[in-house]
Amino acid sequence: MASWFGGGRPVVLQVIPTLVTGGAERGCIDMAAAIQRAGGRALVVSAGGPMARELERYGARHITLPVDSKNPVTIYRNAARLAALIRAEGVDIVHARSRAPAWSALWAARRCGVPFVTTFHAPYNFKGRLKQRYNSVMARGDRVIAVSGFVAAHVADSYGVGPDRLRLIHRGVDVATLVPAKVTQARMAVLARDWRLPDDHRVVLLPGRLTRWKGQLVLIEAMAKLGRNDVRAVLVGGDQGRTDYRQELEARIRALGLDSQVTIAGHCADMAAAYMLSDVVVSASVEPEAFGRVIVEAQAMGRPVIVSDLGAVKETLVNGQTGLVVPPGDAEALAGAIASVLDLTPLERRAVGLEAMRYVRERFTRDGMCLATLAVYAELLAERAAGGRPAGLS
């Protein structure tokens, strides 16, 4: 990838609200590293966060600006700040990853005559004209990237973005670290001890921040219907200040008598070990997932998965081969699917795991995502070099 950009050293500026946690943030960091490896210069503007330190490791540069603000005055001022940065650093491409900073980035890019790229990390639903207009900035890129076919269809249908500008680039996971053989027994033992998992229990894992639409309550109800004392459900993810919802989960667990069968584990820093501890990984979301990263990661680790039939799930697994799809919010169906997976023979589990690993490595790698995005940048650089005007430039 070192000579990918050819002559010169293009400068790519990514703009994102913060670098605290999340899929958009991870994609931003991954692309900064890829740009540097490809011979370009990567700049990232955000309001800051712990992930910003990772940029230094790859030789990228972080600039702190209040681009997380939705205040119209701040957005307007950020446009001037970004325009000054574009001129000072000789930026060749601006790539926005969220709506509020995208407005600033759009105005700055247009003012400086620089190609503008956006990534739809979610469908950004709307109920009125004002919200649709606010969201529409993400459809104004010279190239518009969608992280799944589900999101791409939404962008095309809701904003009229055609194939001349719309690009489908699935999110990718780091398959180099998601390797079962790399997870030691010691790492798994640490988590098993922290989560107080009995040695003879089967483990149902639901990764995801504690928020209602992720469906933790559905899994709790499913555990009650499953009625097996040898199964432990582990809810992995921080509440991010949603203490009322966490307390609601705890109350429901007590009410159903599941104190010894459901664990709220909080944040986990070693998800590879968490996947290896599990017998099945569940995504019980009751609203559409734009992509569903944890389901892809779990399959990369050879784990069977169960997902709600919403959003992009049909793109990220093979129903009946690498996992099962159940109706959203249906605790009875989820309990039945869990029982089916737990009843697989060792040989059947191995077959499912191998197929899941193959499926992910063919379609959802971080390197594949980065190469496809670099190709989008190359399109725009070539158009600019030829003296043409990018499709969305006006």
pLDDT at 122 over 90: no
First to last CA, the chain: 32
pLDDT confidence bin for 393, thresholds 50/70/90: very low
Show me where the domains of the chain are located. 11-172+365-385, 180-363
Question: What confidence tens digit (pLDDT) does each residue in 234-293 have?
Answer: 999 988 787 899 999 999 999 999 999 999 998 898 999 999 999 999 999 999 989 989
pLDDT band for position 394 (cuts 50, 70, 90):
very low
Q: Quick one: what percent of the chain has pLDDT higher than 90?
A: 83
Would you state the CATH architecture of domain 180-363? 3-Layer(aba) Sandwich (3.40)
Reported confidence tier of residue 6, pLDDT bands at 50, 70, 90: low
Is the model's pLDDT at 20 over the cut of 50? yes
Please check whether residue 213 is in contact with residue 288, taking contact to mean a CB–CB distance below 8 angstroms.
no
pTM for the structure as a whole: 0.89
When pLDDT is averaged across residues 43-48 and rounded to a whole number, the result is 96
Angle between the 216-226 and 331-342 helix axes, to the nearest 10 degrees? 60
CB contact set of 256 (below 8 Å; sequence gap of 6+): 220, 221, 223, 224
CA distance 26 to 369: 12
Question: Is the per-residue pLDDT at 391 higher than 50?
Answer: no
| pLDDT bucket at 125, cuts 50 / 70 / 90 | confident
Round to whole Å and give the CA distance between 116 and 108. 9
The pLDDT assigned to 241 comes to 80
Please tell me the predicted confidence (pLDDT) of residue 242: 79
pLDDT recorded at residue 2? 45
Domains 11-172+365-385 and 180-363 share a fold: yes
**Candidates 3.40.50.2000, 3.30.1370.60, 3.40.50.720, 3.20.20.70; correct CATH number of 11-172+365-385?**
3.40.50.2000
**Does position 390 have pLDDT exceeding 70, yes or no?**
no
At residue 9, the pLDDT reads 87
Q: Which residue's structure tokens are 């499953």?
A: 226
pLDDT of residue 173: 93
Give yes or no for residue 307 having a pLDDT over 80. Answer: yes
Alpha-helical runs (H) found in the chain? 23-37, 52-57, 72-89, 99-112, 129-135, 149-159, 185-194, 216-226, 243-255, 271-277, 293-300, 313-316, 331-342, 346-363, 366-385
Whether the pLDDT of residue 8 is over 80: the answer is no
CA–CA distance, 149 with 155 (Å, rounded to integer): 10
Mean pLDDT, the chain, whole residue set: 92
State how far the alpha carbon of 325 is from the alpha carbons of 220, 285, 350, in Å. Answer: 18, 12, 19
Provide the pLDDT for residue 7.
59
Q: How much is the average pLDDT of 299-307? A: 97
Q: What is the mean pLDDT of residues 281-307?
A: 95
| pLDDT at 86 > cutoff 90 | yes
pLDDT digits (tens, 9 = 90+) for 191-225: 999 999 998 899 999 999 899 999 999 999 999 99
- Mean pLDDT over 20-25 rounds to 85
